[in-house]
A and B are shown apart, each in its own frame.
Chain A
Amino acid sequence: MSTLEWVARIAVPTVVAAPALAGFAVAVLVARGAARTEESERTIANVVHVGISISMLASLAALGCVVANGFGAYDLRYGHWFQADRYGFELMFYETFSSAAVSALVSLLLLATSRFSQDYLHREAGYNRFFLLMAAFGAGIQLIVLGGTLELLFAGWEIVGLTSVLLVGFFHERAGPVNAAVRVLVTYRLTDVGLLVATVLLHLNLHTTAFVALRDPTLLHHAPHAILVLVGAGALLSAMGKSAQFPLGGWLPRAMEGPTASSAVFYGSLSVHAGVYLLIRLEPLIATSFVLRAAVVTIGLVTAFMAATSSQVSADAKTALAYATTSQVGLMFVEVGVGLPHVAVVHLVAHALLRYYQFLRTPSTLQDALARRKALGRTEADEVAAEWEGAGVELRRFLYRLGVERFAVEETLERWIGRPVERLARFTDKIERTLLGLLDRYSAEGRR
């Protein structure tokens, strides 16, 4: 084994483990009952800073290895984490240039977030909780990025989902954030089923979920086509949920209830791109089926259009930015769907950086607008009103309604799926009660 590979073998697991350990240390500190004081704040932040900094150094080292290796991928195996009978689940990481780049991006943004939050969350009741969740999130997202098999990715996926939900509900003393968190949770839980099904199907049929194996055309060639489509569809469902794609994006504006810092790192940059990344990882599989590719492209395009329109009419900074973000994520779906995963990676990294910065700066919206007005010598802020008001008034009203109502996607889902399911549930509930009642009476009589 070359020195380079040794470095990679050590660095890559460190990227994931360091934030996890930092999170664990925070959990221990908090569990030992330290109240939030100025000193404890500093300690907690420092622990997380150190964890994330180590993770970042490791991730840069790993990136260096890949580059020095002539942009070749590393397939790093560490034995099995679970084995029964003759079947095993491997503990492995798969480091390509794109995953190394995304991993470096992730640690950079995490480091910025933890520095930013040290001031921003100063004296906030949930300070420790925030840093704990941030560290856990860091470990989860690095596992998604670097994990070598679908089930490892799934583990990271779940950690990211859970931390997202808890950060949306960060201000749990108010009803709004909690309701929003429940909403996010439901979407995530429902769509995560897709990824789970995909994992199981791959194990059953290909006996592996390693991404490196999926790059092998012969393996895919021999697999039943229908299974591959099902696997792809499952993964796509999960990706749609996490990346707020049509028609599952209704949770996104609600997720803005958390602190600005977490909105930035989750919905501006990292979490929302996880779906794209999953598709990039599975791109060889998706490429085998025209149906899948068509589905990915269609969903991406529809989302891109709807979200862009919604963004135009949103009058609040975070919603407008969140929709602008999903719109681009939709286009990344398209890029993956048409077989340009590398373009998607470049787009992803650049986009995540930019949106992150824009999200952190949302509180400056008003000052920015005033400065712009000054620079342009305008007295009114409505800079584009004229342009938009050139369109016919009926068309404008119609488009405007579509935008404001987010194309009634939620309403449609509620009417044609939500309500019928609810009605069905009530109906079956009624049947169950009746039957139980009968059973009760019968057994009571029997005893007598």
Chain B
Amino acid sequence: MSTPSHAHEVTPVGIDERTARIDHAIEHAGHYLPAQGPIEVFVHHNTLHAFQHLPFHDALEAARQKIGGRGYLTQSVYRRHYQRGRIRDADVDAVLADVPPPPLHRPDGYPDATELARLVMIHGIEATTQSDLHFRVGELGASTTFAQGVDDAARTRILDSTREFIESRSAQEPADLRALFGLDVGSELARIVGRNAHRANPLEAFHAHPEAFSVHALYRAALHRCEGRTRPSEPYIHRIRFPRDLMFRVFEEDTNDLVHPVLIPLCGAFLDRGQSRWSMPDREQGMYVAWSRFETAGKAVRAHWLASLGSRLRSYRALGLDAHQVVLKAVDELGITDDELEDFIAHELMLLPGWAGMFHRLETAPGPIGRSIAKARLVDYLAVRLTLDVLALADLAERHGLPRSVGQLRDTLRPRLRERSQRPVDGELAWPLFLLCQHAGIGAAQLRALDEEELAGLLDWMSAFDQRQRLIRWQEAYERHYAGEFFDAIALAVQDRREVERPELQMVTCMDDRCESVRRHVEEQSERYQTFGAAGFFGLAIAFQGVDDPSTFPLCPVVVNPQHRIVERVKEEHRDRAERRTTWMRRWGKLDSAFRRASSSMIWAPVVTTATGFAAALPLLGSVFAPRTMADVRKRARSTLIPDLETDITTEREMRDRDEGEELYDGFELDEQASRVGGLLENIGLVKTFAPVVAIIGHDSSSSNNPHVAAYSCGACGGRSGGPNARLFARMVNRPEVRERLRTRGIDIPDDTWFVGGVNDTAADAYHFYDLDAVPVERRADLAHFFDVLEKARMKNAHERCRRFFSAPRDPDVITALHHVEERTHSLGQARPELGHATNASAIVGRRSVSRGVFLDRRTFLISYDPTIDPEGLILERILLAVGPVGAGINLEYYFSTVDNEKWGAGTKLPHNVTGLFGVMNGASSDLRTGLPKQMIEIHEAVRLHLLCETTPEVLTKIVGRQPIVAELVLNEWLRVASVDPEDGRIHVFDAKNGFRPYVPTPRVVPVVAHSEDQYRGHVEFVPPAMITANRPVRVEGES
């Protein structure tokens, strides 16, 4: 259906053009809105995707200006990291060498720009406000004692130079000298030195209190040298140009306080995907029409500011205005000119970015769960919003005695904006200069001796090396430290690497950083266990329909459109059970809906609540006090009523062509199967030696009471389980026909190798395997052995995970640890069922021998790739094309949600309120919260992804040249790329300015331990990479 378009005949010339302008403005502004869709599907993506065409640091600045929000941690956080040793001097020095501070003509006896920059950064030297300055000087004695952190050498230099200065000037009039140093009556210094200080000889005063004297002299000198200098006030007034902002500035009253409580519930109700019982009438015609229809139905009492809403909407309707024209009308009413239109619309949409973003997303790219009946369009949202804005402005205007016609509002209000006065310079210039001189060991004499030009140069340099410049360098230093530890460990590992010969078992998991540890725990058990990592959909883009699912759902990266439908079916012999199961499920579903309905109905609720209320105490107490037991009881009850089934999935394409208009094929043809399987095996380099058992394991995550559950699941499967993909893969590769075809491709899978598909619950550390009845008898023993190995590994994995949960038992045994992680998934009050991708920081694309035996602390995506079978880098190109955007998307979403959790993230989970089955708000009426909640990122380190590829710089350069998507990420440094040479293991690190440069390992010693546990035991916080010697029969240098 479409909106009525009968207005077109009477449209005056120009309206069409202006309508197009609105559409253009909306389209333009839409790029900057959050791109998150309904949270049923959670896809990690770069929060600042709209700025990805810019270099990283420029993009953060552009985003700050356009949207607001911080792009870095705060300086105090970086400094805390510096104090704790997370950022070291060497890191800061290295960054300042690579990214030099602005140039400075160095005055004699002053440190150079690099040293000054170092001082400014590590001591947090910053401008301050006038009142803070007064407080520091007046109450904290900042002008008479050395600032914290001034080192001894600097102190001595200042004291000595001050003394020399007084001695050399002793010929001068004592009174002048006294004045010079601030020994006048009642001054700070005079108070300290003594009552008669203002009459004393300055040299005596100095000897009485050398520190107070010297520091105060410096302070006076700084004030003196900055006297008469002004800084222009920030040009902020031209930015306040739209009526709402003007109103807010002048009267400190916000029209949003009136508009949002009306608008937000309306948006929620309109977009609702089935949460409320009564849906909004007419929502298939767009929000403006629906709203206008019900607002004009029947008589109404309205708030004072909305008194004329009814008549306004009726008259719009009589005129036959559609949403575009309503927007135009409001724009005209507000006196917005055509050339302001684009900015104005962007400004309006940014007032509630979450809601506007959801409209935009559902309008342009609704994603896998599709559109609902509601016709979501951003122009409708604007029409409603602007209609309300106009009324709210008129009301506020009236209340403040201004004319109600909002068109003149801007002219009336603008003159009332008071220009901020010129900012005083003491806090802005003299204070940082004073601090900098202290840390640099520059005394009053030297500062006074500086000639005017040099001083101006120094002050200019200080304002050029502003907050942004410092933050850029802090961030780089923060990342460099991690990169150093990471590359050092890898450099050590590749020095002496050995491939696994005749593996006993092989395991392929998702590349996910969370799988790093379980792979390590499997490998630590024997040198003949081998693991691989691949994107968790295993190269099978499918639309999957589980046995209980009412429809298919794509299990593949969101950018891919699946062409193959895979359906899970009940096995023939289970038909009866299946029927019973369906019956009970339907019954349960009906009962549940009926209960839900009744418990909110006026008539039925008393009966229902009285009847069930007392019974509710059981699940209530159970799930709060004994979540694991409760979950167990529930599961048992469920499996008695709703029996588990044995199922099959479609594999084979039924021999018929795709029907006209049908989007999906059923299953895969034999050749397709062989090519998919072969493709993946080649990608991961599993083409020569096969173990008797090869496990393919996708992953999923379970948790209760958690609206963000999809964000923990497999990102390569569109935020769902990768189990079906693994199952399908195993079934395909086990087929003799497929293996036959693979042999022609050079992949010879022996007949005694069996693949088994499974799924891993990353939260509970549980595993489930499919189609075990099909395992040949000869392989059963091998499989049982594999399960034993996995059982040990999952317990150790749970144990390792527990170290990062602050609320987990300290140093538990493995069983306690496993029970603890299981309990977390069932507990109603648990806001952190698992930590997701938090702490992710790096990715390795290469053979496992690059990283085998390195403790990477679950921070690294591991993608298997064999450069020896890919001299041209074609496979690598394919991998990077998928892994680059996915890895960067995950990493950057975590990055931005961490650096500014309120702006880019969703804030704390505690007040979150599920709305319309598509998002969460804080409480009953707030903007939709997008990004990651605080509980998901609180232990994350905001560092960009360090992508290390086992290849040569030349191959990487070629790939970047060929693939614009990869190039954008790499050249703009959204990803930090490095290469490790397949032959000699040398590492090259890339940056946009210098290209590839050889990595020089730092003199740091990489820890060498027997087992993972030895490295992490007793640590809650990050531990650096280490070499694990257990079952890595490789001589490691540095071992003692």
Contact = CB atoms under 8 A, between A and B. Distances in A.
Q: Report which residue of B589, B609, B827, B916 has the largest number of chain A beta carbons within 10 angstroms of its beta carbon.
A: B609
B600 A311 contact: yes
Nearest to A304: B602
Q: Report which residue of B617, B807, B827 has the largest number of chain A beta carbons within 10 angstroms of its beta carbon.
A: B617
Given A112-B624, A398-B294, A415-B304, A313 B276 contact: yes
Interface in B264-301: 265-266, 268-269, 271-282, 293-295, 297-298, 300-301
A383 B909 CA distance: 28
Given A382-B279, A388-B279, A389-B279, A317 B913 contact: yes
A115 B624 contact: yes
A374 interface: yes
B924 to A, nearest CB: 4
Nearest to A376: B589
A131 to B, nearest CB: 14
Contacts of A399: 278
Contacts of B605: 308, 324, 327-328, 331
Contacts of B1007: none
Interface string A34-76: 0000100000000000000000000000000000000000000
Given A354-B609, A356-B620, A400-B281, A366 B39 contact: yes
B589 A414 contact: no
A118 B614 contact: no
Interface in B34-58: 39-40
B272 A315 contact: yes
B550 A116 contact: no
A427 to B, nearest CB: 15
Interface stretch (A6-14, A171-179, A187-195, A224-232): A171-179
B778 to A, nearest CB: 39
A367 B702 CA distance: 11
B300 A331 contact: no
Contact of A362 (B295, B588, B625, B913): B913
Contact of B600 (A324, A364, A388, A414): A324
A338 interface: no
B192 to A, nearest CB: 32
B599 interface: yes
B550 A377 contact: yes
A315 B265 contact: yes
A324 B600 CA distance: 5
A357 B617 CA distance: 8
Interface stretch (B70-78, B704-712, B768-776, B787-795): B704-712
A347 B914 contact: no
B339 to A, nearest CB: 33
Nearest to B272: A315
Contact of A367 (B592, B709, B938): B709
B395 to A, nearest CB: 11
Given A400-B281, A411-B303, A124 B910 contact: yes
Nearest to B257: A179
B585 interface: yes
B551 A379 contact: yes
A315 B268 contact: yes
A388 B924 contact: no
B241 to A, nearest CB: 24
A414 B593 contact: no
B914 A362 contact: yes
Contact of A404 (B265, B274, B588, B832): B265
B572 interface: no
Given A171-B908, A379-B551, A388-B278, A316 B592 contact: no
A220 B592 CA distance: 49
Given A256-B924, A362-B914, A401-B295, A369 B589 contact: no
Interface stretch (A91-99, A258-266, A281-289, A434-442): A258-266
A355 B609 CA distance: 9
A89 interface: no
A408 interface: yes
Contacts of B746: none
Given A314-B276, A397-B294, A116 B301 contact: no
Interface in A390-448: 393-394, 396-401, 403-405, 408, 410-412, 414-415, 419
A21 interface: no
A353 interface: yes
A174 B909 CA distance: 14
A355 B599 CA distance: 9
Size range of the chain B interface in the assembly: 35 or more
A313 B269 CA distance: 7
Interface in A303-332: 304-305, 308, 311-324, 327-328, 331
A353 B614 contact: yes
Given A176-B926, A375-B585, A401-B298, A317 B914 contact: yes
A382 B832 CA distance: 31
A385 B294 contact: no
Nearest to B303: A411
Contacts of A331: 602, 605-606
Contacts of B265: 314-316, 319, 404
A27 interface: no
B277 A388 contact: yes
A38 B806 contact: yes
A77 interface: no
B629 interface: no
A354 B612 contact: yes
A414 B613 CA distance: 37
Interface in A248-262: 253-254, 256-261
B281 A353 contact: no
A384 B599 contact: no
B301 to A, nearest CB: 4
A124 B602 CA distance: 38
A43 to B, nearest CB: 14
Given A180-B923, A369-B274, A375-B588, A122 B831 contact: yes
Contacts of B272: 315
A221 interface: no
Interface string B695-720: 00000000011110100000000000
B11 interface: no
B664 interface: no
Given A119-B829, A384-B597, A352 B913 contact: no
A203 interface: no
Interface in A87-124: 108, 112, 115-124
A379 B545 CA distance: 12
A370 B807 CA distance: 30
Interface in B914-932: 914-917, 921-926
A410 B305 CA distance: 13
A316 B273 CA distance: 11
A350 interface: yes
B37 to A, nearest CB: 13
Contacts of A316: 265, 268, 275, 913-916, 921, 924
B620 A360 contact: yes
B84 interface: no
Given A121-B910, A122-B831, A320 B276 contact: yes
Given A174-B922, A347-B609, A353-B616, A315 B910 contact: no
A324 B596 CA distance: 11
10 contacts: A108-B621, A320-B276, A351-B613, A362-B913, A365-B275, A373-B550, A382-B373, A389-B279, A408-B300, A411-B301
Given A253-B925, A365-B917, 5 more contacts: A170-B911, A174-B922, A308-B605, A365-B914, A400-B297
Interface of B: 39-40, 257, 265-266, 268-269, 271-282, 293-295, 297-298, 300-304, 306, 372-373, 548-551, 582, 585-586, 588-590, 592-593, 596-597, 599-602, 605-606, 609-614, 616-617, 619-621, 624-625, 704-707, 709, 806-807, 827-832, 908-917, 921-926, 935, 938
A-B pairs with the 10 shortest C-beta distances? A381-B274, A350-B613, A375-B589, A308-B602, A257-B923, A397-B297, A259-B910, A116-B829, A376-B589, A324-B600
